């Protein structure tokens, strides 16, 4: 398979029979950042699935709904917090018929879409994380599921966040994941590595792509330097730029 890092938390996974796209947004949507990653042209004859973990502007873009005119085999798996009422769609000149191509999902549920088996985890922020099985491949995309620990937030808030994160990841215990896309966010300062550390220790994944880096790709090398367990570091994929392609 081929994995394309588009930008931030957006990845394209090209499998033999289908293509999956996670958390795409236009690169100019987030104030203060200029993301240059672009989606590739997709094969019109292959099923194309767009996933959006939640409504935040760095994870969902209404523009993806306009792709249905170009790709006849497109389908969307969207967290239910992404509200697409008829009036809202009309204001944005999107036909209400688009909902026939959308599967809305909530946390801690299982869904079947064509041959995709999807399990959702409850995010510690908004929306869901995704665990997916298809074509013999098992994938995990965290969305904003993370151990968000902020200085000054207080132990009550941070403790609740940590317990929620650990509870969500228990749904992955016993699963052998091939590709995992996991948050590594430098805004957390001294707690930057905390969520990834716990994931590495408790989830069995072959290839781990750090994401939500806010273009600070050096965080990956920093994490590897601090990690004394070679079994962990060899599983972490080095990302250096947007639109980087990985053959797995």
Q: Which tens digits make up the pLDDT trace of 182-192? A: 999 999 999 99
Q: How many domains does the chain have?
A: 1
CATH assignment at residue 195: 3.60.15.10
Q: Which residues contact 11 (CB under 8 A, 6 or more apart)?
A: 3, 4, 5, 21, 22, 23, 141, 181, 209, 211
- Residue 158: its pLDDT value, please? 77
- Residue 205: its pLDDT value, please? 97
The answer to whether 66 and 39 have CB atoms below 8 angstroms apart is no
> What domain range includes position 95?
2-247
- Residue 237 per-residue DSSP state: P
- Residue 235: its pLDDT value, please? 94
- Residue 155: its pLDDT value, please? 79
Q: What is the CA radius of gyration of the chain?
A: 17
Could you give the CA distance from residue 238 to residue 83 in angstroms, rounded to a whole number?
35
- Report pLDDT digits (tens) over 31-63: 999 999 999 999 999 999 999 999 999 999 999
- Residue 61: its pLDDT value, please? 97
- Spell out, as residue ranges, where the chain has pLDDT lower than 70: 153
Q: Which residues contact 29 (CB under 8 A, 6 or more apart)?
A: 57, 58, 61
SS (H, E, C) 7-48: ECCEEEEECCCCEEEECCCCCCCCCCCCCCCCCCCCCCCCCE
Burial of 127 (0-12, 13-18, 19+ CB in 10 A): buried
């Amino acid at each position: 398979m081929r994995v394309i890092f588009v930008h931030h938390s957006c990845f394209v996974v090209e499998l033999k029979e289908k293509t999956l796209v996670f958390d795409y947004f236009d690169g100019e949507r987030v104030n203060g950042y200029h993301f240059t990653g672009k989606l590739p042209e997709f094969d019109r004859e292959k099923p194309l699935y767009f996933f959006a973990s939640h409504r935040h502007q760095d994870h969902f873009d209404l523009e993806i709904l306009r792709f249905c005119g170009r790709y006849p085999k497109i389908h969307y798996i969207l967290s239910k917090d992404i509200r697409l009422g008829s009036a809202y769609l009309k204001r944005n000149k999107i036909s209400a018929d688009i909902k026939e191509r959308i599967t809305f999902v909530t946390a801690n549920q299982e869904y079947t879409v064509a041959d995709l088996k999807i399990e959702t985890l409850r995010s510690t922020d908004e929306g869901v994380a995704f665990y997916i099985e298809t074509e013999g491949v098992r994938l995990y995309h965290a969305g904003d599921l993370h151990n968000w620990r902020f200085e000054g937030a207080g132990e009550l808030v941070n403790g609740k966040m940590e317990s929620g994160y650990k509870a969500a990841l228990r749904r992955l215990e016993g699963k052998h994941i091939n590709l995992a896309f996991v948050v590594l966010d430098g805004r957390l300062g001294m707690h930057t590595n905390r969520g990834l550390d716990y994931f590495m220790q408790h989830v069995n994944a072959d290839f781990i792509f750090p994401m939500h880096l806010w273009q600070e790709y050096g965080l990956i090398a920093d994490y590897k330097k601090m990690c004394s367990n070679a079994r962990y570091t060899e599983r972490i994929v080095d990302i250096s730029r947007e639109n980087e392609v990985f053959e797995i």
